[in-house]
Amino acid sequence: MNKNAFFELVTKVLSGEASPAEKKLFDSYMFDQEYRNLYEYVKKEWHREIRHPEKKFEFAKSLEKLRAKIKKAEQAKENTSIIKMPVFKTIGYVAAAVILLLTVGFLGKTLLFNENASKQTHFLSYKTQRGERKLIELPDGSKVYLNAETSIRYPSDFSGNVRNINLTGEAFFEVKREDIRRPFSVHSADVTTTVLGTSFNISAFPDKDAHITVATGKVKVANQLDNKRVILTKGEQAIYDKSGLHKTTVDVSAYTDWRNGILRFDGIPLDKAIGQMERWYDVTIEYDSTLLDRSIRGIYKNESLRQVLEDMQFMLELKYEFVNDSLIVIRE
């Protein structure tokens, strides 16, 4: 038996991977004093206590963080009672308004039976479907353009001294400046964006980095987990990712063109572009992870999905295939 084969056998025995036949073979070697000595030495080494270098990590602190995250996420979830209404997409604004009114009634009624509910505040929610974009006017006259697959929740009237909105997804806000200077706060992911009167874009989809981009005026963005905050002015952007909150300068139109029906890829990684396309055209696009390192550039105004794919095929030398109307596969 060569040394390699013997060590392979020893390794399998020690790590509990040896088959009955291998164990038998191993046992036969143990009659030999030299093999046994070698095995005994390796076994001793194997069983030496190995500890993870645990000092680096703090469980108690991390558990607190996890609890805070859960609490926050659950509050956000409660705040976005989702109304699905794909049928009304075509019927349009009037129908949507009717639904919203019905929702007010429904929520109001629910709240009356809920003793824990605070006062008489009614909340309105709206969720756009994939492929849908929508303009909503808030009680204070501010306008919100919702991009696809986005949900928003806001009070039926801003009676207090703050204007609080909850958002998941992407929206462009045109906030009306008020004489009484009530701050307007948008809560999304772990960040709160506070303004007085200005226009800005928030993109905060679940499991993605959040971007807050300012078109006009001044905005304050705060990370609620560590209380870090940044102030943004026109042309500036805050990015919220795993490592926290950062500030950068961007071409604002790249982040706000969507509300004019423009799909824009500004040299972004392919997976991001595909995420955008999926929401924009209400399709599912599958792709090889080998394509992840490619980036794409392009501007499409009211363009068909097929045209965008044709372009990608040409530019990135990919192949695409419609499996059916709503499923596309992209390959190298």
Partner 1 sequence: MDIYSDKTLISSIKQNDQKALELLYEKYFYSLCNFAFNFVKNAEVSEEIVSDIFLNIWLKRDVLDIKSNCKSYLFIAVKNQSLNHLNKNKVKFEALEILDKTGHITEKSAHSKLYYGELEKEIEQILLELPTQRRIIFKLNRIDGLKYIEIAKILSISVNTVQKQMTEAVKFLASYRPQLKTSLTNGIFTLFYIIF
Q: Alpha-carbon distance 23 to 20, whole Å?
A: 5
Q: Which is nearer to partner 1, 135 or 292 (CB)?
A: 292
Task: Return the residues of window 173-212 that contact partner 1 according to CB under 8 A.
Answer: 207, 209
Task: Return the residues of window 259-318 that contact partner 1 according to CB under 8 A.
Answer: 292
Candidates 23, 24, 30, 62: give the one binding partner 1 (CB under 8 A): 62
Candidates 26, 29, 46, 320: give the one binding partner 1 (CB under 8 A): 46
Q: Alpha-carbon distance 243 to 254, whole Å?
A: 24
Task: Return the residues of window 95-124 that contact partner 1 according to CB under 8 A.
Answer: none
138: its two tokens: 């808030």
Residue 63 touches partner 1, criterion: CB under 8 A: yes
C-alpha closest to that of 145 among 154, 136, 157, 132: 136
67: its two tokens: 């609890």
Least separation in angstroms between CB 44 and partner 1: 9
Q: Per CB under 8 A, which region of 100-108, 149-157, 187-195, 235-243 contacts partner 1?
A: 235-243
Contact criterion met (CB below 8 Å) for 227 and 264: no
**22 contacts: CB under 8 Å, gap ≥ 6:** 9, 12, 13
Contact criterion met (CB below 8 Å) for 228 and 244: yes
Q: Alpha-carbon distance 166 to 321, whole Å?
A: 38
Q: Alpha-carbon distance 302 to 276, whole Å?
A: 14
Contact criterion met (CB below 8 Å) for 275 and 258: no
Residue 227 touches partner 1, criterion: CB under 8 A: no
Residue 73 touches partner 1, criterion: CB under 8 A: yes
Least separation in angstroms between CB 297 and partner 1: 18
Site size for partner 1, by CB under 8 A? 44
Residue 20 touches partner 1, criterion: CB under 8 A: no
| Residue found under tokens 């974009």 | 133
Residue 4 touches partner 1, criterion: CB under 8 A: yes
Q: Alpha-carbon distance 42 to 14, whole Å?
A: 9
Q: Which is nearer to partner 1, 161 or 227 (CB)?
A: 227
Contact positions vs partner 1 (CB under 8 A): 3-4, 7-8, 10-12, 14-17, 34, 38, 41-42, 45-46, 48-54, 56-59, 62-63, 65-67, 69-70, 73-74, 77, 207, 209, 241-243, 292
